[in-house]
A and B are shown apart, each in its own frame.
Chain A
Amino acid sequence: MEEKPKSKLNLNRVEMPRQNPQVRAHNYNEVALGYTGEMAMQEATRCIQCPKRPCVAGCPVNVDIPEFIKAVREDNMEEAVKILKSKNALPGICGRVCPQETQCEQVCSLGKKGAPIAIGRLERYVADWDLGHKKQAASTELPKSTGKKIAVIGSGPAGLTCAADLARLGHKVTVFEALHTAGGVLMYGIPEFRLPKKIVQSEVDYVKSLGVDVQLDSVMGKLATVDDLLGSGYDAIFLGTGAGLPMFLDIPGENLNGVYSANEFLTRVNLMKAYLFPEYDTPIKIGKKVAVIGGGNVAMDSARCALRLGADQVYIVYRRSHAEMPARHEEAENAEEEGIIFKFLTNPKQIIGDDKGWVKAMECNEMELGEPDASGRRRPVVKAGSEFTMDVDIVVVALGTTPNPLIPSTTKGLDVTKRGTVVADEQSGKTVKDRVWAGGDVVTGAATVISAMGAGKRAAVAIHAYLMGS
């Protein structure tokens, strides 16, 4: 092939190879395959290293993006890793699940003329290179111990980031996790084919290599309260307990056999590895016709898991239209390519059971879009007389989650909203309770991995300032 002469401004990004949709719909291997060294170099070369660096401000954890891309371009991978990890302890995870298109990439200078730099893909490339070269330990220089002890509750993205940053500042950090594996939603929620669990565990191992102690099987609020911890030698506490409580539709038939919350469905598949049943003991009902209710990333993940488990037909049932779907464009596209059927402007009215208590159908209404509501999206309204019935045998409810009340209900002096979120200062994460900070979904309600990491990071700065008396 003849190579084109390099233009000064290359407006097309290098595509990342992906598994064929027909093939990947039947396996749990990663969908996106990552750049090769050559691709990464080519993409990195597109960066114009503009002096304004809007991408850095667009990143919730302020990664020095132009610098790490420059290092990739110069084939100095160790330097690229160092730059990336100095701001982001979980780059392999972020490179895969961050919504870059609405953050760093959205503000990229190149985006005004063509495709922005594929920052997420390059981040993933650098992180994967690092894992492949086992250099994690070498890039870690730990300062002298400050003698301060911090308890982090929850080992999801907020907790891990906060723990890593505090450890790098010389504090002794213990992370308490309720489940038997660290990682929170990264382990129980996001499926293997989007975020391989070995990547998560490698990055958890990196956090541990900074001296962070991770205590599994520890349900705080039950095993010990926040006040117990404060009274037993911890100088500060960070709450990163996420939004783990599932919401249901509150329609008839919701307790029938075959109705799952997305949390249960995904936890069985991802954390408990039900897709490997019976080698793993945890079962899951596969279903022939599966309806997933909701239009977010969790709905896409549930639908794509159901398909991979072997369902014949999988529907996404969403009450608004395509344009209002909160899922990442890329994930909705992946789902569609794999054969998920989208039923827009459709809202379940009741779930119908057979005489043995199992789901056999779902009655729905057609909807139409009315005036915009408080969220700015057009409010869906029921079309009169539009009832129709879908034959389904599994229903997965993916309507969102709210924070688990376990900590708020056992901690005196926290300010909790009606939605169950903990009130904390937006910048510092400080709650109204002395020596207690909070961040991530427990404060904002269900949001993104990177925004939780940003909150963990800002809280670490605030906790450090408090502990060091400045």
Chain B
Amino acid sequence: MFKIVAKEKLTPLIHYLRVKAPAISQKAKAGQFVIIRVDEVGERIPLTLADWDAKEETITLVAMEVGTSSKKLGLLKAGDSIANLVGPLGLPSDIERFGTVVCVGGGVGIAPIYPVARALKHEGNKIISIIGARNKDLLFWEDRMKSVSDELIVTTDDGSYARKGLVTEPLKEVLQREKIDRVIAIGPAIMMKFCSLTTKPFNVPTIVSLNSIMVDGTGMCGCCRISVGGVTKFACVDGPDFDGHQVDWNIVFDRQKVYLEEEKQSLERWEACQCGKS
């Protein structure tokens, strides 16, 4: 059992959890993920690390309520425990001195881009960050991102805060404005696809972090397989970072939908059970 030492809501549907995980906290690196199983009947779901603290022996997870598992996670409080927590999994992000790096975080993807931006900044890169959300209420960690960026651009889809529009618009402007050595985009698959399409004409290496459906997370099942440059890769062990220009996005989108019906059925059943409890 892994104890939650702090928990808060970052937005109505996005939860921040700091979890006691001594061994993982010592080994974690930016870009890696963990697999959690909330309770004894739970699914195994991957969550990219949002932060860790080796001294405090904790890791930080940021999860958005989507299906049964993330809703169950949302109900837990400080002092409660998560049944299983495995990690750190996947290959760490490449952290080198590239020059100028644009870090794009969309929605809940703002959380995992934060440690990547921090590590790249620490390495001596100039960091231009672009973070976006659907509206003002869904935006979080602007302050954290500011603290690790030389420049921070914020967008909301509806214009309720900062600049109105999608993250790809300022991304394009930055690419036109100055020489960019690398772009890293983490967020919804559709956002990562369009960031990759935006950077392609500029020929700037673009890294995306794929959060496929997984079971074991150690290369055993192949559930998370995707196609990169025409070759099948497992997101769990070959990634989660991949070259966004080489990813076959249609396969990414299709494979995300495999269990849509079952996820809906599971959630409806769980919600009905919750009503019965209160």
Contacts and interface: CB of A to CB of B under 8 A. Distances in A.
Interface in B225-275: 225-227, 232, 237, 250-251, 254-255, 257-259, 262-263, 265-266, 269
B86 A278 contact: no
A263 B259 contact: no
Nearest to A265: B221
Given A281-B68, A283-B262, A223 B88 contact: yes
Considering residues B85, B216, B219, which has the most beta carbons from chain A within 10 angstroms of its beta carbon? B216
Given A255-B225, A257-B258, A277-B262, A404 B88 contact: no
B89 A278 contact: no
Contacts of A180: 37, 44, 83-84, 86
A246 B219 CA distance: 8
Interface string B71-113: 0000000000001111111000000000000000000000000
B223 to A, nearest CB: 5
Contact of A179 (B24, B216, B219, B259): B216
B43 interface: yes
Nearest to A277: B262
B235 to A, nearest CB: 12
A281 B216 contact: no
A373 interface: no
Interface string A248-276: 10000011111011011001100011000
B9 interface: no
Interface residues of A, number: 41
Contacts of A263: 220-222
A276 to B, nearest CB: 8
A263 to B, nearest CB: 5
A216 B84 contact: yes
A267 B232 contact: no
B43 A272 contact: yes
B266 A283 contact: yes
A231 to B, nearest CB: 14
A285 interface: yes
B220 A267 contact: yes
Contacts of B225: 255
A273 B263 CA distance: 15
Contacts of B259: 283, 285
Nearest to B259: A283
Interface of B: 23-24, 27, 37, 41-44, 68-69, 83-89, 215-216, 218-223, 225-227, 232, 237, 250-251, 254-255, 257-259, 262-263, 265-266, 269
